[in-house]
Structure 1
Amino acid sequence: MTPAAQSVEARRIAELAPIIPVLVVEDVAHARPLAQALVDGGLPALEVTLRTPAALDVIAEMAQVEGGVVGAGTLLTPQDVADAKEAGALFGVSPGVTPKLVEACMHHELPLLPGAATATEVMALYEQGFDMLKFFPAEASGGAAALKAIGAPIPQVAFCPTGGVSPGNARDYLSLPNVICAGGSWVAPKDAVARGGWEEITRLARDAAALR
């Protein structure tokens, strides 16, 4: 799967809803009810970060939830790509990108949403064929104003800003012509997940789904 083909699929997934939940899940028992709550709230694309020992099992469980499109976040190495694909991930997200990571995603046919924070990084990825990127870390890299500025000379590239995106600033990003969706963790608060507050999470997801 070429970078261009990966971006076509990544863009399709990004267009499913205005927010992609960024999930750090410690307990695999929470996987299915959490995914169901988010899908019920109108957020079908789910990014499970590979930051916990349970992450791959969580991806495998969430992949069983009807209507969900589960991806793996924090892909850092080719082994991460292979493990994510085997677990059932339908897309991958990385904070940055390396040639080996791109090669692994091509080999395993895993659509990648690669991270970029500067015009040079965006241009380098666009040169390879990627035109759907993650803007990360969004707020620390200048926020919506910076992404708007990047979009002026490089309108061909679309983004999913992630990192510091919140209900208070999400619309600033989503109003930009080069933003398809944004990534956010607020729709699945740790305390709500820990106590099984699935109805609360569904409500938060509905609010996020209505942002645009």
Structure 2
Amino acid sequence: MSDAIAGKQASVERVLRLGPVVAVVVVRELAHAVPLARALVAGGVKAVEVTLRTPVALDAIRAIAAEVEGVALGAGTLLAPRDFDAALAAGATFAVSPGSSPLLLDAADDSALPYLPGAATATEAMTLAERGYRWQKFFPAVPAGGVEYLKSLASPLPGIGFCATGGVSASATPAWLALPNVVAVGGSWLTPHDLVAAGNWPAIAALAREAAALR
């Protein structure tokens, strides 16, 4: 593993250890970005991943980076090498993808952004570990086998730690966090569409407080 990847992986670990839940956010309206992020931070969820799934996602990252204090701001759903440059320029401080590919990993090597790549199988996790990625996103966590599957990887792959994301609920989070190879989970339940559309930021802050207290 190169020193550059090791340093970026240390940054990823620091983000994941900010709390048990990383908020996974889809921003559909730019006006929601800043108050949404502020509500999450106020509730104690400091790591926020804005997914690049909407036309306003990069602008949302840009606005949050400029206006919200105390947030570790990630760009998620990176699918192409150019996404690293776009995310970094917008102000993201880490990057996340649902899987990985040789081109994406090469781009990550060349980027200053700390990177959390996705893996769903033992082979994918081992391949990423060979490239120096000790910290990985287990995705889609529930469809890919759930708690029991990831538990089965802990002994043969002791050097890899995961952020389990994809179908993870608040009620199931303690079971995920009890695994020795899980340091955090990714949660989209913190920002349900109806609450975001209504601008009910106190309710989202309350969900964040509940998530921050999970162990």
Higher mean displacement: 200-209 or 100-109? 100-109
Deviation at 1:106, TM superposition (A): 2.2
Deviation at 1:108, TM superposition (A): 2.1
Q: 2:181 aligns with which of 178, 181, 198?
A: 178
Q: Secondary structure at the match of 1:75?
A: coil
Q: 2:16 aligns with which of 8, 14, 18?
A: 14
Instruction: Give the TM-score normalised by the residue count of structure 1.
Output: 0.98
Q: Secondary structure at the match of 1:3?
A: helix
Residue ranges of structure 1 left out of the alignment (5+ in a row): none
Residue 173 of structure 1 aligns with an amino acid whose one-letter code is W
- Residues in 2 aligned to 1:164 and 1:3: alpha-carbon distance in whole angstroms: 29
Higher mean displacement: 65-74 or 95-104? 95-104
Residue 53 of structure 1 aligns with an amino acid whose one-letter code is P
Q: 1:78 aligns with which of 73, 76, 81?
A: 81
Q: 2:92 aligns with which of 86, 89, 93?
A: 89
Give CA deviations for 1:89-111 in whole Å, capped at 9, x if unaligned.
Answer: 00000011112212222222111
Match of residue 53 from structure 1: 55
- Residues in 2 aligned to 1:206 and 1:150: alpha-carbon distance in whole angstroms: 31
Cα contact 1:138–1:165 (8 A) shared by 2:
yes
Residue 49 of structure 1 aligns with an amino acid whose one-letter code is T
Q: 1:66 aligns with which of 44, 49, 69?
A: 69
Match of residue 211 from structure 2: 208
Match of residue 104 from structure 2: 101
Deviation at 1:61, TM superposition (A): 1.0
Residue 177 of structure 1 aligns with an amino acid whose one-letter code is P
- Residues in 1 aligned to 2:137 and 2:6: alpha-carbon distance in whole angstroms: 15
- Residues in 1 aligned to 2:155 and 2:167: alpha-carbon distance in whole angstroms: 22
Moved segments of 4+, more than 6 Å: none
- Residues in 1 aligned to 2:110 and 2:142: alpha-carbon distance in whole angstroms: 33
Residue 188 of structure 2 aligns with an amino acid whose one-letter code is S
Instruction: Give the TM-score normalised by the residue count of structure 2.
Output: 0.96
- Residues in 2 aligned to 1:7 and 1:168: alpha-carbon distance in whole angstroms: 29
Corresponding pairs, count? 212
Q: 1:152 aligns with which of 139, 151, 155?
A: 155
Q: 2:200 aligns with which of 184, 197, 201?
A: 197
Match of residue 34 from structure 1: 36
Deviation at 1:207, TM superposition (A): 0.2
Give CA deviations for 1:1-24 in whole Å, capped at 9, x if unaligned.
Answer: 733222211111000010001100
- Residues in 2 aligned to 1:173 and 1:63: alpha-carbon distance in whole angstroms: 30
Percent identity of paired positions between Structure 1 and Structure 2: 52
Deviation at 1:129, TM superposition (A): 0.7
Residue ranges of structure 2 left out of the alignment (5+ in a row): none
- Residues in 1 aligned to 2:5 and 2:111: alpha-carbon distance in whole angstroms: 12
